[in-house]
Amino acid sequence: MSNDDGDGDLEARLVEQEAFEPPAEFVEQANVSEESIYEEFEENWPRSWTRAADLLDWETEYNQVLDESNGPFYEWFADGTLNAAYNCVDRHVENGDKNRVAIKWEGEHGETRTYTYQDLYREVNEFAAALRDLGVEEDDVVTLYMPMVPELPIAMLACARIGAPHSVVFAGFSADALATRMNAADSRYLVTCDGYYRRGDALDHLAKANEGLGGVDHGVDAAVVVDRLGDDGFGHDLKGNQYDWDDLLAAHQGDRVDPVERSAEDMLFLMYTSGTTGQPKGVKHTTGGYLAYTAWTSHAVLDLKPEDTYWCSADIGWITGHSYIVYGPLALGTTTVMYEGTPDYPERDRLWEIVEKYAVDVFYTAPTAIRAFMKWGGEFPERHDLSSLRLLGTVGEPINPRAWKWYYKHIGDESCPIVDTWWQTETGGMMVTTLPGVGTMKPGSAGPPLPGIDARVVDTTGEEVDAGRAGYLTVNKPWPGMLRTLYNNDERFLEEYWEEYSDADADEWVYFPEDGAKIDDDGYITILGRVDDVLNVSGHRLGTMEIESAIVGVEGVAEAAVVGGDHEVKGEAVYAYVILEDGYEGTAEMRDQIVAGVEDAIGPIARPEQVIFTPELPKTRSGKIMRRLLEEIANGEELGDTTTLRNPDIVGEIQSKVQK
């Protein structure tokens, strides 16, 4: 990568530096600053987790912290009861903070909406009343297919209030993806939106939602549509069972709904994520453990205070937005910022303009974004006063030291600690990262496991590897934010996460996140990336199988293999190797059809960077596609051993077709 930040100074001073200490001013004010916390958690485990649960208001206090009797179906705080919406909204109103801002929303055009905790309380109640009126009962799954509008967190909290789990489907996903998820969750209710803005253009989201609804096998009882676009809308008439959000709120003006008392182990939400098969996995999170865990990590890692203005630039359609735009920050009574649009609209300083405008204290984003900022250059953040920032965070993929240092200097002015947080949809919240008020930071390494988290780096037999050696990440003890199962599929839950390293007979359960990692002498863990067939494109998790089945669904395609190739900004990009049926040719039109097929089945995020037509795929003698080889070809790397191939001659031919 070239040194395009034009800052020789940075090169000279930071490039060699491998460890950074948090500034004294930060440590002084940090929520957690004692190193002893690690020991404390270990000594009192699992009782130490009351520290997380104590951040919440319980309707019934729990007696037992952890029930291990049915591992790996662990239960946390199981005999306690609470309501997540009560914890994120009502209690702040009751505690005298009704006028504090809960959500600051900024639309792509620069319009803003501000919700105080009182405003949130009112709308959450009214929408909860509306949902009930539409027939939603406790434990019904409500699908939310919405862009970044304030109505999305409001709908999530309204669901939580009445004990109806939500299943948020990322707005960038296709109609097919929506239908698949609604079918899998047996969800009969949808909340969606007429559209939203992307780089100045209005997008017709409702057309996609309607198409998706057409694919819901069991039919849909009711759909609610938020009017985001007003006069820019696409003029869809609402159908018989479709309701306008504003009309519903007007009809329920002033209504109040008592928060439903939920058992800690009751489902709060479902979130579908990609796995190694074509079928997405419905990750189940619960009310008590998840909320305690996201509140605790927001407190200890993001260092959030109620008076902070905090901004996570993720989309609520992913787990990061659930945990660290909505539940964690609101449980703590913080002000959380939401932005509708893209970082480069109307200009490449948009995010920094927002940081300055709202005097953001804590900012959390993804390495892919940082790499883009770095590419655009330091002049964009320099246009703005970013001195309000106190702490920076990243999540979603490994961050290379160069990008880390750029972020540290150009955004944090060398005075903000950075937390590089490793976690997953399944873990509910952060697992491996430094505590910003305690630990030394090492660019490129996420850090030690958080207090109470028993993460290790092991070899294939489960033995811990020596410092410096690569191995596999495992988590050897349960934690409150962990997924409880895959929706309606305990068997797949066991298979996907627990089979590899557990000893079921000895009742020893080891969680396998399917990431490679290494560990250093100080116990710092560096994540090396997925070891399964899951890609990480711009921080988004995509299953190669899902993309392959979309491609094979295109007329004329016989077989496809998808791998990830290195990409300067996206981290990984989709490379699709495609074999056509006889009579079809690898033309530009064919390529376009394949790209369209992927967009239809999944969404534009999965769009192939390159489609490479080939008469054959490199296969082992036993007929397995050699993906490693295809990756090396995509990356223009020297090829590893090809002698075990059944068809070694094909390699050169494929190589010549990849554009570099």
Per rule CB under 6 A, is residue 302 in the interface with ligand WTA?
no
Smallest separation, CB 416 to ligand WTA (Å): 17
Q: Which residues of 251-284 are buried (b: 16+ CB within 10 A; e: fewer)?
A: ebeebebebbebbbbbbbbbbbbbbbebbbbbbb
Residue matched to tokens 């929408």: 127
Q: Mark the segment that binds ligand WTA (CB under 6 A) among 24-32, 234-242, 396-404, 585-593.
A: 396-404
Using CB under 6 A, pick the residue from 513, 597, 603, 608 that binds ligand WTA: 513
Q: Residue 121 or 497: which CB sits closer to ligand WTA? A: 497
Task: Report DSSP letters for 176-241, one per residue.
Answer: HHHHHHHHHTT--EEEEESEEEETTEEEEHHHHHHHHHHT-TT--SEEEEE--SGGGS--PPP-TT
Per rule CB under 6 A, is residue 396 in the interface with ligand WTA?
yes
Q: Residue 443 or 586: which CB sits closer to ligand WTA? A: 443
Q: Residue 131 or 431: which CB sits closer to ligand WTA? A: 431
Residues 447-486 that bind ligand WTA (CB under 6 A): none
Q: Residue 140 or 572: which CB sits closer to ligand WTA? A: 572
CB 543 within 8 Å of CB 566: no
Q: Residue 148 or 249: which CB sits closer to ligand WTA? A: 148
DSSP 340: -
Burial group, residue 233, by CB count within 10 angstroms (0-12, 13-18, 19+): middle
What is the C-alpha separation between 302 and 319, in angstroms, rounded?
16
Using CB under 6 A, pick the residue from 398, 444, 452, 471 that binds ligand WTA: 398
* Angle between helices 588-601 and 544-552 in degrees, nearest 10: 130
What is the C-alpha separation between 67 and 264, in angstroms, rounded?
12
Per rule CB under 6 A, is residue 496 in the interface with ligand WTA?
no
Coil/strand/helix, residue 637: coil
Using CB under 6 A, pick the residue from 14, 53, 370, 395 that binds ligand WTA: 395
Q: Residue 400 or 642: which CB sits closer to ligand WTA? A: 400
Q: Residue 282 or 396: which CB sits closer to ligand WTA? A: 396
Q: Residue 320 or 365: which CB sits closer to ligand WTA? A: 320
Q: Residue 263 or 297: which CB sits closer to ligand WTA? A: 297
Q: Mark the segment that binds ligand WTA (CB under 6 A) among 49-57, 143-151, 339-347, 389-397.
A: 389-397
What is the C-alpha separation between 48 and 126, in angstroms, rounded?
38
Q: Mark the segment that binds ligand WTA (CB under 6 A) among 81-89, 107-115, 522-530, 649-657.
A: 522-530
Per rule CB under 6 A, is residue 33 in the interface with ligand WTA?
no
Q: Residue 321 or 343: which CB sits closer to ligand WTA? A: 321
Structure-token pair, residue 371: 């790499």
**What mask, x for binding ligand WTA by CB under 6 A, covers residues 531 to 550?**
-----x----x---------
Structure-token pair, residue 134: 């539409």
DSSP 606: G
Using CB under 6 A, pick the residue from 348, 530, 567, 570 that binds ligand WTA: 530
Q: Mark the segment that binds ligand WTA (CB under 6 A) among 149-157, 318-326, 330-338, 404-412.
A: 318-326
What is the C-alpha separation between 561 and 552, in angstroms, rounded?
10
Q: How far is CA 578 from CA 542, 595, 601, 647, in A?
A: 18, 12, 17, 16
What is the C-alpha separation between 628 and 655, in angstroms, rounded?
14
Using CB under 6 A, pick the residue from 418, 446, 483, 574 that binds ligand WTA: 446
What is the C-alpha separation between 585 and 109, in angstroms, rounded?
44
Smallest separation, CB 522 to ligand WTA (Å): 17
What is the C-alpha separation between 597 and 600, in angstroms, rounded?
5
Q: Mark the segment that binds ligand WTA (CB under 6 A) among 25-33, 80-88, 393-401, 454-462.
A: 393-401
Q: Mark the segment that binds ligand WTA (CB under 6 A) among 331-339, 391-399, 477-485, 615-623.
A: 391-399
Q: Mark the segment that binds ligand WTA (CB under 6 A) among 25-33, 36-44, 112-120, 312-320.
A: 312-320
Sequence-distant (6+) residues with CB within 8 A of 536 are: 396, 397, 529, 530, 542, 564, 571, 572
Q: Mark the segment that binds ligand WTA (CB under 6 A) among 41-49, 218-226, 317-325, 486-494.
A: 317-325
Smallest separation, CB 298 to ligand WTA (Å): 14
What is the C-alpha separation between 138 and 131, in angstroms, rounded?
11
CA atoms within 13 A on the CB side of 20: 31
Q: How far is CA 42 from CA 30, 45, 450, 459, 520, in A?
A: 21, 5, 11, 24, 20
Beta bridge partners of 226: 193
**What mask, x for binding ligand WTA by CB under 6 A, covers residues 233 to 272?**
----------------------------------------
From start to end of 51-173, where are the E strands? 66-67, 75-76, 81-82, 101-106, 112-116, 142-144, 166-168
CA atoms within 13 A on the CB side of 300: 28
Q: Mark the segment that binds ligand WTA (CB under 6 A) among 46-54, 395-403, 550-558, 560-568.
A: 395-403
Q: How many chain residues are in contact with ligand WTA, going by CB under 6 A? A: 22
Q: Residue 408 or 422: which CB sits closer to ligand WTA? A: 422
**What mask, x for binding ligand WTA by CB under 6 A, covers residues 416 to 435?**
----xxxxxx----------
Q: How far is CA 354 from CA 108, 173, 309, 411, in A?
A: 11, 26, 11, 13
Smallest separation, CB 142 to ligand WTA (Å): 22
Q: Residue 514 or 599: which CB sits closer to ligand WTA? A: 514
Positive or negative, the CA dihedral 108, 109, 113, 114 is positive
Per rule CB under 6 A, is residue 527 in the interface with ligand WTA?
yes
Beta bridge partners of 565: 573
Enumerate binding residues for ligand WTA (CB under 6 A). Answer: 273, 318-320, 395-398, 420-425, 446, 513, 515, 527, 529-530, 536, 541
